[in-house]
């Protein structure tokens, strides 16, 4: 322990040692069970705006979550200080809470045979040996390319280059301790275009575990320019019911709402429009939705979940039918089911897709709305009501006619899912939910 404190440089071995020390302390203070969740992160980000250095930020932080059990009573405490006295005090605080809380018959650790004792490491750590001066140079170069592309791009909200190295660890009193590293690197470019008195803003970004997988800065700059310029001349629409295509980066949200509706917390609280829908058709028959938690170089991958349970591929929608809920150990116990190793959420969610790219998907839609940005949070998981501010483009004969802004799109999530026409093959790999653009049969568009 003293070596960890003195160096503050973490390795798999030192984090395993730290978790073991905390678990030992919980036992010493009388807990019948305990679990420890550790997150350590270090890195930096730089931002350049109009050629000048706006910010250089270094970060190095850690968070330790300690949960103790006294039978069916539990208590938790969080710390970032790893000195022995601080750990002892945090465990004592958690124990004091546990001794005076009400019993919860569903609380406790995962069964020992579910834990990831033999987990296989996943290649998720690719440190970017990038010095701050080089990061600044990259940001300046990206911004310069963008500003030189078109005279209408006359301002910038900055180009950011960021890199981080992290460790994620979990252990519990069943004897399981697991630790794995992951890296995350990102370049983003935000621009402002002006035409007459009108100004519009848009952006582009690339994010990856491995810096070699990032898009070239020329591509990031050019995409940001294209996205920003095409927003100029935005119009409003009259209220109407039309087909809608969600561009891939916004289509992620549609699947995110689905995950929220099948998550254990929503289900045992009876606050989901998909309550008691297991075995029922939710999507059309050509749709399958599954998770793949062990993909190399994928930011959503993990060898075990937040309960220490071995992650595994799960199929949530099979030929349109809901076949699985998304469950942690606690929510599974509450529902009388088995955990799906989704403590902490899903890991790399995929939806089946067709062979059309976005232009081909617009051709199939023929006339309707392409949504490229959503605003607000008007989604009710209890009722399935969906209403959000949006902007994008009006499409006729499969071609973009003009940009659209200051509109609202509305519908019911059950109907939206049931009326999903096709998913494009333009898969956005940047997030934990991986989907192409999504064409829906019809939504209400509210404007003038």
Mean predicted confidence (pLDDT) in 108-133:
96
> Does residue 69 carry a pLDDT above 80?
yes
Residue range 419-441, pLDDT digits in tens = 999 999 999 999 999 999 999 99
**CATH 3.30.2290.10 placement within the chain:** 2-229
> Does residue 240 carry a pLDDT above 60?
yes
Higher pLDDT, 303 or 197: 303
pTM of the complete model beyond 0.85: yes
Is beta strand 420-423 parallel, antiparallel or unpaired with respect to 433-434?
A: unpaired
Are the C-beta atoms of residues 342 and 331 closer than 8 Å to each other? no
How many residues are there in the chain?
Answer: 448
446: its two tokens: 């509210």
Under CATH, to which class is 2-229 assigned?
Answer: alpha beta
> Does residue 6 carry a pLDDT above 70?
no
Mean predicted confidence (pLDDT) in 203-225:
97
Annotate 10-38 with b (16+ C-beta within 10 A) or e (fewer). beeebbbebbeebbebbeeeebebbbbbb
Best CA proximity match to 324, nearest among 266, 259, 380, 417: 259
- Residues 6+ positions from 120 with CB-CB distance below 8 Å: 294, 303
169: its two tokens: 């660890």
70: its two tokens: 């006294």
Query: Average pLDDT of the chain?
Result: 95
Residue 4 banded pLDDT, cuts 50, 70, 90? low
> Does residue 10 carry a pLDDT above 90?
no
pLDDT of residue 337: 96
Residue range 332-389, pLDDT digits in tens = 999 999 999 999 999 999 999 999 999 999 999 999 999 999 998 889 999 999 999 9
Mean predicted confidence (pLDDT) in 125-136:
97
pLDDT of residue 419: 97
Helix or strand run (H / E) with residue 154? strand 153-172
Are the C-beta atoms of residues 181 and 12 closer than 8 Å to each other? yes
> Does residue 1 carry a pLDDT above 70?
no
> Does residue 7 carry a pLDDT above 80?
no
pLDDT of residue 48: 98
163: its two tokens: 């890199």
């Amino acid at each position: 322990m003293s070596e960890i404190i003195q160096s503050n440089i973490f390795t798999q071995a030192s984090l395993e040692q730290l978790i073991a020390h905390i678990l030992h302390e919980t036992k010493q203070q009388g807990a019948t069970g305990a679990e420890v969740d550790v997150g350590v992160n270090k890195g930096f980000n730089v931002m350049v705006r109009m050629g000048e250095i706006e910010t250089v930020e270094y970060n190095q932080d850690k968070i330790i979550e300690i949960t103790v059990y006294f039978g069916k009573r539990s208590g938790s405490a969080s710390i970032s200080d790893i000195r022995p006295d601080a750990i002892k005090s945090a465990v004592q605080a958690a124990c004091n809470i546990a001794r005076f809380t009400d019993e919860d018959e569903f609380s406790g650790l995962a069964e020992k045979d579910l834990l990831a004792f033999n987990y296989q490491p996943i290649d998720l750590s690719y440190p970017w040996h990038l010095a701050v001066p080089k990061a600044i140079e990259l940001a300046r170069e990206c911004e310069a390319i963008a500003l030189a592309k078109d005279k209408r791009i006359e301002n910038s909200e900055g180009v950011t280059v960021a890199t981080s190295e992290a460790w994620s660890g979990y252990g519990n009193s069943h004897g399981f301790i697991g630790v794995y590293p992951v890296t995350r690197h990102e370049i983003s470019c935000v621009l402002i275009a002006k035409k007459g008195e009108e100004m519009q803003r848009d952006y582009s970004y690339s994010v990856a575990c491995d810096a070699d997988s990032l898009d070239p800065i020329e591509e990031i700059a050019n995409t940001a320019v294209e996205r920003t310029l095409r927003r100029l001349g935005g119009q409003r629409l009259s209220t109407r019911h039309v087909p809608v295509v969600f561009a891939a980066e916004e289509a992620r949200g549609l699947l995110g709402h689905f995950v929220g509706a099948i998550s254990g917390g929503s289900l045992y609280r009876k606050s989901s429009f998909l309550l008691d829908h297991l075995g029922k058709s939710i999507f059309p028959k050509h749709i399958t939705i599954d998770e793949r938690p062990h993909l190399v170089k994928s930011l959503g991958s993990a060898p075990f979940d937040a309960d220490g349970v071995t992650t595994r591929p799960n199929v949530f929608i099979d030929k349109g039918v809901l076949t699985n809920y998304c469950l942690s150990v606690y929510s599974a116990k509450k529902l009388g089911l088995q955990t799906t190793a989704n403590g902490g959420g899903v890991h790399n969610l995929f939806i089946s897709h067709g062979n059309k790219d976005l232009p081909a998907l617009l051709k199939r839609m023929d006339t309707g709305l392409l949504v490229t940005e959503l605003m607000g949070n008007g989604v009710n998981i209890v009722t399935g009501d969906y209403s959000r501010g949006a902007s994008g483009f009006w499409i006729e004969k499969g071609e973009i006619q003009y940009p659209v802004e200051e509109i609202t799109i509305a519908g019911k999530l059950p109907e939206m899912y049931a009326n999903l026409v096709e998913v494009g093959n333009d898969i956005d790999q940047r997030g934990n939910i991986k989907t192409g653009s999504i064409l829906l049969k019809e939504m209400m568009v509210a404007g003038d």
